[in-house]
Amino acid sequence: MISDKDLFSRQQARTLASKAKEASLILAQFSQAQIDNVIDAVAAAADKEAETLAQMAVDETTYGKASDKVLKNRLASRDVHRYIRPLKTAGVVREDSERKIIEIAEPVGVVAAILPSTNPTSTAIYKVLITLKGRNAIVLSPHPSARRCICHAADIMSKAAVAAGAPEGTINCMTDVSQEGTSELMHDRNVSVILATGGSGIVRLAYSCGKPAYGVGPGNVPAFIERSAYIPKAVQDIITGKTFDYGVLCSSEQSIIFETPIRDQVMAELRKLKAHIMNDAEIEAVGKVVVTPTFGANPKIVGKPAPYIAAQAGITVPPDTSVLIAPLAGVGKEYPLSVEKLSPVLALYEVPDYNAGVELCIKLVRFGGMGHTMAFHSTNQKLIVETGTRVPVFRMVINSPATHGSVGLTTGLVPAMTLGCGAVGGNITSDNISPLHLINIKRVAAEIRPAASLAKTQTPAPAAPPSRQATSSLEDRIGQFLDEKRINSPVPARPSNPGSEAEPHAMGQHKVYPMNPPDPKVAVIPNPQAQIFPNNPKEPPAGPPLDFVCEDDVRQAILRKETISVHSKTIITPSALDLAFNKNIFRKID
């Protein structure tokens, strides 16, 4: 008989991890159709209870608002499900006939999922779905203040999974939660991978367990309004993102940066949207309430509406106030409201120009939020790419709320509730986490060159330096060879050393796309006479020329046995050029 709560929690962690291990061995034998049938049933069951789970989360944690939590629950049950459904995660997932390699998906086994109190049920639905899609079992460890709603969500999904053919023990949830129990779960020998969402302490613990772990870092998201932006929409997007679920998502906006020439417009739009601009005394009072002495978000105000926070600070604001705005002169410990706040409170900065704005964004991110997210509002295509290049974040949301765009609600990013911050943020990945992070790939590789042929290759003895006449002859031969291969255009060749990179082209040579900027290291075709794109008169009429071509475009064209129309200024990535070489894929149209 175990009487101590921490010991009971540790024993439960071991028991559930063992059950999950047994289930994972059965799931590993599932076909793609079988596992897809399970995730379909689980997603449908979670979606049906989205409203109930949202209200339970608010009632138990007191964070956020139910209507927004419904949307987050459905992001997981609908958007995540819609994205992962077509993915191949069982059996042969890829074949490369040219290299004679077959790739086979292998589940990782048991996933330990650590869940937060700020987004409890939506994160539970999301983590269960991406885990099951990889044919893995899962054990959920809820935040103590969100235990009931998370366990209820897990119970709904577990019953649906078993009814659809999954073994008992596929989805498990700890009901006796403690720090000791969570640590025991992460260290358990049956656990293969850890998915940790929560404070920096739990993420550090996950990384110290000696096994693969996906953790996420904090966000301190700057929202920069550049002078070319459409101001009304930019301000509306920022307020929409900041007030969504009262700012509990780590990718919600934390600061507004704007250029001096648009000051009056920005301030007018903020007041129109019921923002309260605080004076120095109010900023000091709110800072003491919102930020702890250790520069963390005060749990007592996390996910609370702006009027509530103002009242706690002794400030009177209209009851319909949307956000509290704090004009600040700097970033750092002297300015507490320059950190992540997880509530509808925003810092506000005025800068003289674009460069000053970018430098300020970098300071804010470095103060807390390296690698996470930034919002940039602009119609200047060149500056969009330049900003993405300069600021150390891995999600640059353009002309959309950062909160919604980062998780894939309003952008084409992978829909996810766990957002990696890369090495600069102390994370193993910069991706939005998906089922592809929870499978391993076997590679079956056949011989493409006999070992005996390698032994016959001898290193030639050093030759004497060629004469000037021989050098000239060699240059002629190389020129003739390049002409035959149709690569005499000024396209930079791939470096011979795999570790090196070709020099990037100047920013002015790029044609930039606001919502999906191309890789800055791309090949630009400035020569309209370039012979890499020969027109074949026997081919059917070509479609309209593309402005940008990537490797996947070429791969799809090869599979469909089609050509790609381009013009003299088309941007083509080096990998696309390599894949298309000598295949007559491109057709140049003037």
The answer to whether 114 and 195 have CB atoms below 8 angstroms apart is yes
Q: What is the mean pLDDT of residues 58-81?
A: 97
Q: Tell how many helices (H) and how many strands (E) occur in the chain.
A: 20, 19
**Catalytic residue of the set 149, 151, 173, 250:** 250
> Could you report the per-residue pLDDT of 485-517, keeping only the tens digit for each?
444 444 444 444 444 333 343 333 333 334 344
**Alpha-carbon span 76 to 66, nearest angstrom:** 15
What's the pLDDT score for residue 173? 98
In the chain, list all ranges with CATH 3.40.309.10. 221-401
**Alpha-carbon span 261 to 227, nearest angstrom:** 7
**CATH number, span 221-401:** 3.40.309.10
- The closest of 38, 75, 46, 44 to 406, measured between CA atoms, is 75
- The closest of 473, 115, 77, 58 to 305, measured between CA atoms, is 58
- The closest of 348, 374, 424, 346 to 222, measured between CA atoms, is 374
- Can you state the percent helix, strand and coil of the chain, rounding each to 5? 45, 15, 40
Spatial strand order of the sheet with 439-445 comes to: 91-96, 101-107, 439-445
**Alpha-carbon span 164 to 135, nearest angstrom:** 14
Residue 558, pLDDT > 60, answer: yes
Residue 289, pLDDT > 90, answer: yes
Residue 101, pLDDT > 60, answer: yes
| 355 C-beta neighbours (distance < 10 Å), count | 11
Residue 478, pLDDT > 70, answer: no
What's the pLDDT score for residue 546? 86
What's the pLDDT score for residue 502? 37
281: Cβ contacts below 8 Å, ≥ 6 apart: none
CB burial string 470-491: b at 16+ within 10 A, e below: eeeeeeeeeeeeeeeeebebeb
Give the position of tokens 């810092």.
Answer: 347
pLDDT bucket at 585, cuts 50 / 70 / 90: confident
pLDDT bucket at 203, cuts 50 / 70 / 90: confident
What's the pLDDT score for residue 484? 56
What's the pLDDT score for residue 536? 46
Residue 28, pLDDT > 70, answer: yes
High-pLDDT (> 90) share of the chain, %: 70
What's the pLDDT score for residue 574? 56
Residues forming a β-bridge with 439: 107
Residue 23, pLDDT > 90, answer: yes
What's the pLDDT score for residue 525? 36
**Alpha-carbon span 171 to 138, nearest angstrom:** 5
Residues forming a β-bridge with 255: 222, 347
High-pLDDT (> 70) share of the chain, %: 83
SS3 554: helix
Own/partner pairs, 457-466, CB within 8 angstroms, 24+ separation:
none
Distance between start and end Cα atoms, the chain: 82
- The mean predicted confidence, pLDDT, of the chain is 87
H runs (alpha helix) in 28-142: 32-48, 50-61, 66-74, 81-84, 120-133
SS3 70: helix
Q: Where would I find the beta strands (DSSP E) of 220-310?
A: 221-225, 253-259, 276-277
Q: What is the mean pLDDT of residues 264-293?
A: 97
The answer to whether 252 and 406 have CB atoms below 8 angstroms apart is no
157 or 452, higher pLDDT? 157
pLDDT bucket at 260, cuts 50 / 70 / 90: very high
| 318 C-beta neighbours (distance < 10 Å), count | 11
- The answer to whether the predicted template modeling score (pTM) of the entire model surpasses 0.85 is no
In the chain, list all ranges with CATH 3.40.605.10. 5-216+434-442
Residues forming a β-bridge with 415: none
**CATH number, span 5-216+434-442:** 3.40.605.10
Q: Any catalytic annotation for residue 250? A: yes
